Structure 1
Amino acid sequence: MIKLICPECRRENEPERIYCHDCGARLDRTALAKIAPKGENAKETHRRLRTMLDPQRAKMRLLFFKTSKVILGALVTAAIVQMVLPPDVPPRPKMGDFPPQINLDLENATLNRSTTSLQYTETQVNAYLGNALKSKQAALSKVLQFERAIVKFDQNVCFVTAERSLFGFSLFTTTSSQVTLQNGTLAA
């Protein structure tokens, strides 16, 4: 490998440099022009071009990308179908039913300071929520119309699902809370 020597400071510089690394003087690059660049062997060129233009390799690449696109499309379709399908929610209640007086029961329980237990079914709680949230509908978003709220109780877990409609299509959002009893108090 040829080093370029600076005519002013006599430092050896790399052949890629145009100016000296130390003093900044322009280097004489005529010595590099005399060295003929190493040519590639004809067999090496033929082998390199054959691997680059191999039809089998191109077919494998095309097959890989087609398969990847199909798998990605299937995953996106499955995700969209999962989003569009409604969750398992009970049917809409009839409008003629009167919701239970849960507010009155809670108020009486706090005022009387009695130890009576209050028990309600899912349908009673759902009817109460539907009636209580109808009056609040005007304060909610105009774009997403609130339809109803549904409560589902499992073992120590409470699921609250809100149904809203966007241009007539139902959208469901669900939140869950786990309630446990620790040292005599409820912890969520």
Structure 2
Amino acid sequence: MSDGILTWSLLAGFGVVGILIALAATEEFRRGRGAVGKRLRAAGFRFRRNLRVPDERGGDRVVDYVVATMAGLVCIELRDYTGAVQGDAADRMWSHSARMETFRFLNPVTRQRAYLDVIAGLCPGVPVHGLILFSDQATLVGDMPPGVHLNANLEIALREFSEDWGDDSVIEQALKKLKPGLARLRKEGTSAARERGLESQV
């Protein structure tokens, strides 16, 4: 076998291995995504999943889970990343390094704030918090902002929101009304979504 053919064979082999690793990591994340619901249910939490929240650009953001806790509603966003993740609350861009490549992505805490405002507008008087869970194949580098954890630390993360806000029945009612409220917002259009989000900040 010539050197050229051997080189291409090795490159093809490495490529296949890389694809298999990526597929395995994605499948592992999918299992972890489903396991979040099971863990929440086992811990006695009430929640809604895969809620579509209209954004200011006319599209939707899917919120993986909205959980009723003693501290209010906690919106959980799952991030399918492997490798090192680095960023700070004040940074506009965060970095993600995996397989000898580095990518930059918008600060997820800042992005999450937009749909938290919309949800808060639908649940007046009920505190709304954000939680971002990265895949367990990721490594969080440095001091992450509050509310950013690995998937495995879900229970620890929820303890950050342990303050007893008040009437559990009010929080439960807010959770029940959330899905129809979001459906109504999508019918009304993105201007209503934006207005409700802005009103919640006043």
Please give the range of the TM-score, normalised by the shorter of the 2 chains.
Answer: under 0.3
Greater RCO, CA 8 A, separation 6+: 2
Larger radius of gyration: 1
Higher helix proportion, which one?
Answer: 2
TM-score (norm 1): 0.27
More strand by proportion, 1 or 2?
A: 2
